[in-house]
Structure 1
Amino acid sequence: MTSSIQAIDTRSADGATLQAVLLDMDGTLVDTEGFWWDAEVEVFARLGHALADHHREVVVGGPMTRSASYLIQATGADITLAEVTVLLNAGFVERIARGVPLMPGARRLLTELAAHQVPTALVSASHRTVIDRMLHSLGAENFSVTLAGDELERTKPHPDPYLLAAARLGADPARCAVVEDTPTGVASAEAAGCRVVAVPSVVPIGAAAGRTVVGSLEEVDLAFLRGLITGMH
């Protein structure tokens, strides 16, 4: 792994290097945030509850258990967390089986990172079954590490997912560039000490220290990500 990092030649005058790139999945690489919301609306409609639009801003980017727990509490639906999780995952998988659109610039970015042997991780709050299906579209070969939300005791917005991904890649979190689309994911990455580029999807994200906000992945390439570490952005 060390040889791959050196091959990137991202050293600046003070020795700072981009050691790894950590990427969120839903809403960042694949255009699926709407799929999750549609599944949630459909499941709760079958339970006799209409979801208001303001619920979407609460659940976007969060782990399944947190989102489902919130929706059960908000609607008063007569269903257990375990039962609704099964229904939501099934509804989502049914939708992605019809085809998964990648976000603009996602394929190019993944191809560039792979070509330069940049250690890359997929860090998602989605469950492993969903990630494994999505990797058919994203290309499993593009990631050295993949982490699912149901494989951790604490997922986003806690720092655990990004800390673990960096550790598995042998990288210093401070020298990892993270690409995220939600406030929940951004909070997780920043709590881990990573440099963050935010590509807002459903909920706006403001600029902040250590964070760069862009309009789409079409603005992000390897040179851009190097700049997050060397202080060019």
Structure 2
Amino acid sequence: MTSSIPAVVTRMAEGSALQAVLLDMDGTLVDTEGFWWDAEVEAFAELGHVLAEEHREIVVGGPMSRSAAYLIQATGADITLPELSALLNAKFTERIEQGVPLMPGARRLLAELAAHQVPTALVSASHRGIIDRMLHSLGPENFALSISGDELERTKPHPEPYLTAASRLGVDPARCAAVEDTATGVTSAETAGCSVVAVPSVAPIKPAAGRAVVGSLEEVDLPFLRSLITIVH
């Protein structure tokens, strides 16, 4: 599939400035942000600690390493970062193996992008093993490629994930629309130069220049995404 991207981009460029759509996974396409929090709460309960709700907004949307390190520091739990990361991934995996609910509008949006041959990438801070399991629910055929947090030197909120996705697709980040649910992801995509659609999941996200904020993916379709890209080459 990836080898056909340049030709697809050429055809798309003739009718739209939009070259590709880059989508976050947890909380954006799949309703799993609660799964991660439940896994974190359960893990720390086993360690003798109660996680306050205030911690949730801090860890949401970030890479495992950052979230785990923060929670260890905040609670003083007697566990190493590698041990906690492995524990959280195991508990999260247990939950998603019972089935992963898609966010409202996600399947319809992916089908629309595929029908119009829009190059699409999954850009996540989750590990490769988690992404591969999620793709069974999302449909691997809906994505030209996927980017995982453990395959990059720097992950969200750094722009590297989105810059890498655009580079591998052979497109200009400034002609990409990114869809995110957290401030961490929005920062990553905007710093990379993408126009962003924010669909807040846990914490609110304010509108800004080059950023649209919607209530759900039910409000997002291809004409809407194309309207975000104003650059003309």
TM-score (norm 1): 0.95
What residue identity is the alignment partner of 1:223? P
User: Counterparts of 1:171 and 1:9 in 2: how far apart (Å)?
Assistant: 10
What residue identity is the alignment partner of 1:3? A
1:37 aligned partner: 37
SS at match of 2:98: coil
Identity within the alignment, %? 77
Decide whether the 8 Å contact of 1:43 with 1:87 is kept in 2: yes
Deviations 1:75-98 (A, max 9, x none): 000000000000000000000000
What residue identity is the alignment partner of 1:5? V
> Structure 2, unaligned stretches of length 5 or more?
none
> Structure 1, unaligned stretches of length 5 or more?
none
- Select 2:12's aligned residue among 8, 24, 28: 8
SS at match of 2:107: helix
Cα-Cα RMSD: 1.1
User: Counterparts of 2:222 and 2:8 in 1: how far apart (Å)?
Assistant: 14
2:229 aligned partner: 229
Write out the 4+ residue segments of structure 1 that deviate beyond 3 Å after TM superposition: 6-12
User: Counterparts of 1:5 and 1:111 in 2: how far apart (Å)?
Assistant: 18
- In the superposition, relative to structure 1, how do residues 66 and 195 fare at CA in structure 2: closer, same or farther (>3 Å)? same
SS at match of 1:229: coil
CA positional deviation for 1:153: 1.1
TM-score (norm 2): 0.95
Deviations 1:176-227 (A, max 9, x none): 0000000000000000010000000000000001100000000000110000
1:129 aligned partner: 129
Name the count of aligned residue pairs. Answer: 227
User: Counterparts of 2:65 and 2:230 in 1: how far apart (Å)?
Assistant: 37
CA positional deviation for 1:145: 1.0
Decide whether the 8 Å contact of 2:158 with 2:187 is kept in 1: yes
User: Counterparts of 2:201 and 2:94 in 1: how far apart (Å)?
Assistant: 22
SS at match of 1:230: coil
Superposition pairs for residues 21-170 of structure 1, below 5 Å? Answer: 21-170=21-170
SS at match of 1:22: strand
Decide whether the 8 Å contact of 1:36 with 1:92 is kept in 2: yes
SS at match of 2:228: helix
SS at match of 2:21: strand
User: Counterparts of 2:14 and 2:53 in 1: how far apart (Å)?
Assistant: 43
Decide whether the 8 Å contact of 1:10 with 1:18 is kept in 2: no
2:182 aligned partner: 182
CA positional deviation for 1:9: 5.7
